[in-house]
Amino acid sequence: MNKINEATVKEIKQELEENNINIVYLHFPDLEGNIRTKGVLATEIIRTVHISMIDGISIDGSIIDGFESEGPFLIIPILETFTIINWEKNNPYKAAFMMCYIKNHNMDSRACVERLMSIANKEGLYPMCGMGLIYQIGEESETVGNDFYKLLPGSGINKFNVHLVNVLIDAGIDVECFMPCGRLHNSLAYVPQPILKGIDQILLSRWIAASLALEQSLSFNLLYPNENTNPIHISIWNQEHNKNLFYNPDDEYELSNYGYSFIAGILANFDEIFAVIFGSAKELCEVSYKKSFSVQNDECVISAPLYFVEKQKRDRVGWSKRCVLRGILPKANLYLVLSCVYMAGIDGIRNNLDVKDFIDDNYNALSSTISEKIDKLEKNILFKNILGENIASYLIDNLKELEEK
């Protein structure tokens, strides 16, 4: 039997009772990267707390896409993710949620990031990521000119965004800023986090935002105004988290050898990464990003922009130095994609790869056929070790279906 932290269990029980919490939402990700949820009465959690936390709570996998052949399985709440959420101010009835892992299951996409973290920790590396949530509220889908930063505090959409941000902050999600980015399109940016926490926060934010929109009879979509991709800000720190390993103040682009080799690893696995993106999103997209690296060019799949240069030079830590990865579709499974992206980068560091060897400005994500991407993914041992055979096969099957369309 697994051991659990009795002090944490006692604290959770006390929080449930003292805060009049009726429902605990238990979240786990499906293979499409969406949050799946089972609501359990708080009284039942309290009554059977040790059974729930150790043996798990039953889920019927046969009715979930990607899990059909797996049958019933168990989810185990992750105690340290326990969070109280207050949908409305002055509402005496609150809810709580916990992320869960899937017990002894080879289709748990969150476990891929945990495997990555284990590898990174053994090598003294601490992966960080900064992400944003771009979404559309309302019925219309067109954009109007350049509406970035045209924020009107009295507008209905801004009131929704303020409410959303307050709920997210109350739930312990670290929002940095928000802005409109086209008609009915909005963007939230988050404080950089360790990779697993960062992905969890994005998925939870989607779930909360969609719930609030539904409550107000508004549509909610992950449709982006111009480019249908989601930029991810990536960095690698030391284990003490007091030094950004991507930062070198003496380099022309303030990028270290770690950073260059990390980028080289991504470019070396370029087609396989897009195989995971397309396979998990179950769709192709006209992503025209080049298999290239630059400082400022947004046409490249990855860049290392110069931010707050004077601040970096003063503190010598390089807190804002990062790489920006483009081309990730909104519907892609971030656990699967980013576990492979970081693994590719770490492999580049391991092998001291030279980024110049992998740049090809005439090559983009659609230069190779789906069949070629499948072939490369099938042969990529690095990714198969992170994803596991079953998830890799799932992605390949999805790519084959796309090929037939």
What is the reported pLDDT for 225? 44
Residue 97's DSSP bridge partners are 25, 83
Rg (CA), the chain: 21
Q: What's the pLDDT at 141?
A: 41
- In the prediction, which pLDDT does 184 show? 60
Phi and psi for 52 in degrees, rounded to 5? -65, -45
> Strands 23-29, 95-102: parallel, antiparallel or unpaired by DSSP?
parallel
Torsion angles phi and psi, residue 162, rounded to 5 = -65, -45
Provide the pLDDT for residue 156. 66
Q: Rounded to the nearest 5°, which phi and psi values hold at 34? A: -100, 155
Q: In Å, what is the CA distance from 105 to each residue of 62, 110, 241, 320, 335?
A: 14, 11, 32, 37, 15
Query: Of 346, 361, 326, 291, which is closest to residue 121 (Cα–Cα)?
Result: 346
Predicted local distance difference test score (pLDDT) of residue 194 = 94
Q: What would the two tokens of residue 121 be? A: 């920790």
State phi, psi for 193 to the nearest 5 degrees.
Answer: -135, 165
108-127+230-405: what fold? Creatine Kinase; Chain A, domain 2 (3.30.590)
DSSP letter for 79, please. Answer: G
Contacts 24+ apart (CB under 8 A), 123-126: 123/346, 123/349, 123/350, 124/238, 124/239, 125/236, 125/237, 125/238, 125/239, 125/245, 125/346, 125/349, 126/194, 126/236, 126/237, 126/238, 126/239, 126/241
* Ranges of CATH 3.30.590.10 domains, the chain: 108-127+230-405, 132-228
CATH number among 3.30.590.10, 2.170.190.11, 3.30.413.10, 3.40.47.10, domain 132-228:
3.30.590.10
Measured at the alpha carbon of residue 352, what is the angle toward residues 349 and 354, in degrees to the nearest 5? 110
Tokens of 27: 């979240």
Query: According to CATH, where is 3.10.20.70 located in the chain?
Result: 6-105
CB 75 within 8 A of CB 100: yes
Residue range 6-105 forms a domain whose CATH class is alpha beta
The pLDDT profile of the chain, 405 residues, written as one tens digit per residue, is: 345 677 778 888 888 888 888 899 999 999 988 899 999 998 888 777 667 777 788 888 888 887 876 678 889 999 889 998 887 666 666 789 999 999 888 889 999 999 999 999 999 999 999 988 888 876 544 444 456 566 666 666 778 888 899 999 988 899 988 877 665 678 888 989 999 999 999 999 999 999 888 888 888 887 654 455 678 999 999 998 888 999 888 888 889 999 999 999 999 999 999 999 999 999 887 777 899 998 876 788 998 887 655 554 545 555 678 899 988 888 899 999 999 999 999 999 999 999 999 999 999 888 999 999 999 999 999 999 999 999 999 999 999 999 887
pTM of the complete model: 0.90
